[in-house]
Structure 1
Amino acid sequence: MAPHGRCCEGDHQHRDTPEMGIEYSLYTKINKDNLECLNEAVEGSGKTVFKPWEERMNFDLFVDSDADEELLFNIPFTGNVKLKGIIIIGEDSDTHPSKIRMFKNRPSMTFDDVGATADQEFQLHVDNQGTLEYATKIVTFNSVHHLTLHFPSNFGAETTRIYYIGLRGEYSEAHHHGVTICTYEARPNVSDHKNPLEDTVGHQIQ
């Protein structure tokens, strides 16, 4: 059993439908240019584990940890996410991560910051097929614009390997409306202007 949440072995074990591809499409909402993976053995390899559901078994793409077994992902989204579940695929070996710690809306975390209390954490089971989903606390992860995933340990190997990280949930666009500032008090009387058309009521801040 997975503490602090629900590990769904039944509902997701035999499901490999188009709906799963839609449910696990949050990878398309990640700002890949600013995604960071700390302690990755090959630069840029951490980004490759966020891929389509249909490619989750593509074991040509993976991330290995470098100096030790820890991995830390800083994942910025292009909008707001309601995160409902996560799937981790690793090897059927000791390199599979044994624990995940999740932090909400704390950009640019480093290994110096992971001593903080996580918003949620799970003890992981070895899963090399993507059959186990770990259900997040939706109330906690209701409005996520940045997600940090810390993998502090594995099942005994010197390094950790991950093939796929699937994120299930809902996405909404970030609102970037311009703010209209109306300077009523500071606006001179029209009679003070030679040309009233030059008077500006407000302007937009983008």
Structure 2
Amino acid sequence: MSGHHHHDHGDGGHCHAEHDHSNDITPAVQSLLYTQIDFDQINTLNESTPKGGAAIVKKTWAERLNDTPELESDADEQLLMYIPFTGQVKVHSLLIYTAPTPCAPKTLKLFKNRDDIDFSTASELSPCQTIEVPQPVPGEDVFELPLNRALWNTTTSITIFVEDNWSDGDEDVTKVGYIGFKGQFMALNREPVNVMYEAAANPNDHVAIPGVSGVGGRVMPGQ
């Protein structure tokens, strides 16, 4: 980990404990669910730029603090992001970075395995989990927001409803710089792909195939 301490950008006055703390959450590559996200199917409602939501999820861990691309809301402060995975995952935590402004998201309502949520249903349905994002301050890294693991064991998609931001209604634009997930991929052999999609559609398949969880877990370390 020794090389990781050199990414301070000569910011002089800031407390460097904040920066060192970020190394504690630098995830082991295998715990990031990045390669298990179905980027092409990400759908974001009320984004000001097409595919703006997908663009921030596509950022790698190394790019997490980059100023661009950035997701901005359009008509009001709310955002609704549907993020599907390529199979079943266990989600342990949500990773989010936003610039330290009142445009930063505050209340997130998370829905599991629903591809049919719009703003009206997001307001009415009971979310799988609600979390509040801390208000960001300058010099801070990504927030790691732990999820209740028991609720996110067999996740094929996660929908994030950004209900409000930190401006208390004064600012109708919400901005998000980076979203990622930590967890475990329920390894099904990735060949052929169509088998995996059928299994994702029917959770019972996972129970029916004994011992399959250990198969093919390390087939593609380069992904």
CA distance in 2, matches of 1:37, 1:54: 23
CA distance in 2, matches of 1:43, 1:109: 19
Of 84, 99, 111, which residue of structure 1 is paired with 2:92?
84
**Corresponding residue for 1:58?**
66
CA-CA distance at 1:23 after TM superposition: 5.2
CA-CA distance at 1:123 after TM superposition: 1.6
| Structure 1 residues without counterparts, runs of 5 or longer | 1-9, 179-206
TM-score, normalisation: structure 2? 0.69
- Percent identity between matched residues is 28
Aligned partners of 1:100 and 1:152 also within 8 Å: yes
Bigger helix fraction: 2
**Corresponding residue for 1:130?**
141
RMSD: 2.7
TM-score, normalisation: structure 1? 0.74
| Structure 2 residues without counterparts, runs of 5 or longer | 1-16, 190-194, 199-223
Aligned partners of 2:42 and 2:82 also within 8 Å: yes
Of 129, 134, 138, which residue of structure 2 is paired with 1:120?
129
Aligned partners of 1:41 and 1:64 also within 8 Å: yes
CA-CA distance at 1:112 after TM superposition: 1.9
Q: Compared with structure 1, are the counterparts of its residues 33 and 15 closer, same or farther at alpha carbon in structure 2 (3 Å cutoff)?
A: same
CA-CA distance at 1:102 after TM superposition: 0.5
Q: Compared with structure 1, are the counterparts of its residues 24 and 62 closer, same or farther at alpha carbon in structure 2 (3 Å cutoff)?
A: farther
Of 143, 157, 163, which residue of structure 2 is paired with 1:152?
163
**Corresponding residue for 2:154?**
143
**Corresponding residue for 1:171?**
185
Residue 28, structure 1, aligned to residue 63, structure 2: no
Aligned partners of 1:21 and 1:54 also within 8 Å: no
Q: Which amino acid aligns with 1:125?
A: P
Bigger strand fraction: 1
Number of residues of Structure 1 aligned to a counterpart in Structure 2? 170
Which whole-Å deviations, capped at 9, do the CAs of 1:23-44 have from their partners, x for residues lacking one? 5631221111111011000001
